[in-house]
Chain A
Amino acid sequence: MEGIFIKILGAFLTAILAFVVGMLYGGLRRKVIARAQNRVGPPIHQNFLDLMKLQAKRTNIAHGFMGHMAPVWIIIAAMTVLMFIPILHGNLWFENLTMKGDLIFLLYMMVFGSLGMALGAGQSGNPNSAMGVSRGLAQLVGFEIPFFLALIALMIQFNTTSIAVLMDHQEATGRWIIVDNPFAFIAALLASLGMFRYAPFDIVGAPAELASGPRSEFGGKYLGTMMTGGAVFAFIKLVMYVDLFLGGAGNNNLEGLAGTALGLVELLVKTFLLYMIPVFIGLVTPRFRTEQAIQFFWKWPTFFGILAIVWALYKNGTIG
């Protein structure tokens, strides 16, 4: 009985953590960008205010059923994926469903949100939305290939598809996978630039080209819900990268609350540093055209992905 109680409470805690951290990182990003642009910038809690304002809108127009459902799908997808991601290694509070999920399942679930978005945007009838969706799908094709290659490399090298097992392995050996297979990390990192959709890969919602792409017709509560989903997804992506390549967090020997707190601090430091990579790249680069973006992903990131597989096979003893 007590176990279930902790699990339910833990699930809530996880959701709140993901939401708060995701939103704060968004605010920090705005602040960092503002400082680089010689500005003071908004306060770091600005995104919370924006979200509150959007939820406080009195009228909310939806274009058909899918327009209504799209933000909900995004939230569902975000929360489902969140439950299957190990936040802290071996921690009782953030355990959720981590032992049951594997990488392949997660990859499919992560597309689920985009799919809902695509359907909702399609129903709005705005040509900008339709074009944004087609660009988004094209970009998905681009960055998924190096990302999949990197993950396949990990699967081959460690003979598992479970994130938890990978984390166990990192803790047991004391070596992060970034050391074990650096090429997989490079490929996945480059793919993550596309996943975050900051410049140069912000082609989906490019303001000067497509107004704001698939989100053109969503306002008020719908936009607010999408923002929440986006923030949670950002957190998920960061935690997943930390789990896969940077040894995860919470591998300390402290007991109880102190251990959890230390683990969380470790997690925040790692995810924040990782997050700053796409943010800083976005600061100094213009946007690619769609075909240029796909070309980019199919060149160097794919090359590193293949290299990662070769490396994995070599390490595994299959070749060499």
Chain B
Amino acid sequence: MSEIKSIGIPTPEEIKQAQIDFAPRCTSAGRVNDKETQGMVEHILNFARKHSLFVVAYGTGCGAIEIPATMTSRYDAERFGIRGAATPRQADVMLITGYLSTKTLKRVIRVYEQMQDPKYVIAFGSCAINGGMYFDSYNTINALDRYLPVDVYISGCMPRPESVIKGFVKLQELIKNGNAGNGEAYRSDLDWYRKNQQKVIKNWDFPDNYNW
């Protein structure tokens, strides 16, 4: 019967390789406006970007249950300029609310690629970080940043509305400093992401070029 395969303690080489593999992919490639080089215009635009975050309405996992609570009267995320957008074209932020099944991952990638730059990804919950309690599930991916660039992780299962808002505030801070928005980096590292994505999505039927 199902015998649990142990990974064991990783060797130093494995750790090194893992550090390379899991190094944040989007460090400098897509940074058109670092804090140092940020001009006056970009500064003002970043102020607007920071205070106007449209969230694409896609509840990908069970963390979506705290989104209504965050958006409604007690926590009221709209006072930060956060509001829902019905379609990916209009949205800036994508919330990955928890685990992603392989079937959803395919849709999520499509939705992400349809969003317009600069775009941000906030990942919710332990299961988006390292698989959480679904680490041995055959249908959920374990490390989201292999497949999509992630700006902010919110830990917890599930994150409370306070921590969701804290995550948004953190994202605002990153936007202000010009450290958020990995759309261009995603484009420049597309081969790496595509390789990982295609490993999970067996029947690959995406457009060849990322030009939409």
In the complex the two chains form, is A215's CB within 8 Å of B78's CB?
A: no
In the complex, which residues 184-228 of chain A have their Cβ closer than 8 Å to any Cβ of chain B? 205, 207, 211-212, 215-220, 223
Which residue, of B44, B86, B91, has the highest number of chain A Cβ atoms within 10 A? B86
Which residue on A lies nearest to B42, using beta carbons? A56
Query: Cβ of B118: which chain A residues have Cβ within 8 Å of it?
Result: 57-58
In the complex the two chains form, is B48's CB within 8 Å of A42's CB?
A: no
Given contacts A37-B73, A49-B51, A53-B92, contact A42 B86 (CB under 8 A): no
In the complex the two chains form, is B116's CB within 8 Å of A57's CB?
A: yes
Complex CA gap A296/B212 in Å reads 41
Asked if A34 lies at the interface with its beta carbon under 8 angstroms from chain B, I say yes
Interface size band for B: 20 to 34
One of B54, B90, B91 near A218 (C-beta < 8 A): B90
Query: Cβ of A104: which chain B residues have Cβ within 8 Å of it?
Result: none
Given contacts A46-B81, A207-B86, contact A41 B76 (CB under 8 A): yes
In the complex, which residues 83-113 of chain B have their Cβ closer than 8 Å to any Cβ of chain A? 83-92
Complex CA gap A49/B72 in Å reads 21
Complex CA gap A87/B117 in Å reads 39
**For the complex, would chain A's binding face be called helix, strand, loop or mixed by DSSP majority?**
loop
Interface size band for A: 20 to 34
Asked if A50 lies at the interface with its beta carbon under 8 angstroms from chain B, I say yes
Which residue on B lies nearest to A128, using beta carbons? B87
Given contacts A41-B78, A211-B86, contact A46 B52 (CB under 8 A): yes
Query: Cβ of A34: which chain B residues have Cβ within 8 Å of it?
Result: 76, 78-79
Which residue on A lies nearest to B115, using beta carbons? A219
Which residue on A lies nearest to B118, using beta carbons? A58
In the complex the two chains form, is A49's CB within 8 Å of B116's CB?
A: no
In the complex the two chains form, is A57's CB within 8 Å of B117's CB?
A: yes
One of B52, B57, B78, B114 near A52 (C-beta < 8 A): B52
C-beta contact mask, B31-65 vs A, less than 8 Å → 1, else 0?
01000000000001101110110100100000000
Query: Cβ of A207: which chain B residues have Cβ within 8 Å of it?
Result: 57, 84, 86
Asked if B149 lies at the interface with its beta carbon under 8 angstroms from chain A, I say no
Shortest Cβ gap from A40 to chain B (Å): 5
Asked if A38 lies at the interface with its beta carbon under 8 angstroms from chain B, I say yes
In the complex, which residues 111-142 of chain B have their Cβ closer than 8 Å to any Cβ of chain A? 114-118
Which residue on A lies nearest to B88, using beta carbons? A219
In the complex the two chains form, is B52's CB within 8 Å of A39's CB?
A: no
Query: Cβ of B115: which chain A residues have Cβ within 8 Å of it?
Result: 219
Query: Cβ of B84: which chain A residues have Cβ within 8 Å of it?
Result: 207
Complex CA gap A40/B79 in Å reads 6
Give me the 3 closest cross-chain CB pairs, A-B, nearest first.
Answer: A219-B89, A52-B48, A38-B73
Given contacts A53-B45, A219-B90, 5 further A-B contacts (CB under 8 A): A46-B52, A53-B49, A53-B92, A57-B116, A223-B89
Residues of chain A at the chain B interface (Cβ within 8 Å): 30, 34, 37-43, 46, 49-50, 52-54, 56-61, 205, 207, 211-212, 215-220, 223
18 pairs from A and B in contact (CB 8 Å cutoff) = A30-B78, A34-B78, A46-B81, A49-B51, A50-B54, A50-B81, A53-B48, A53-B52, A53-B92, A57-B116, A57-B118, A59-B183, A60-B116, A205-B86, A212-B87, A217-B89, A218-B90, A223-B90
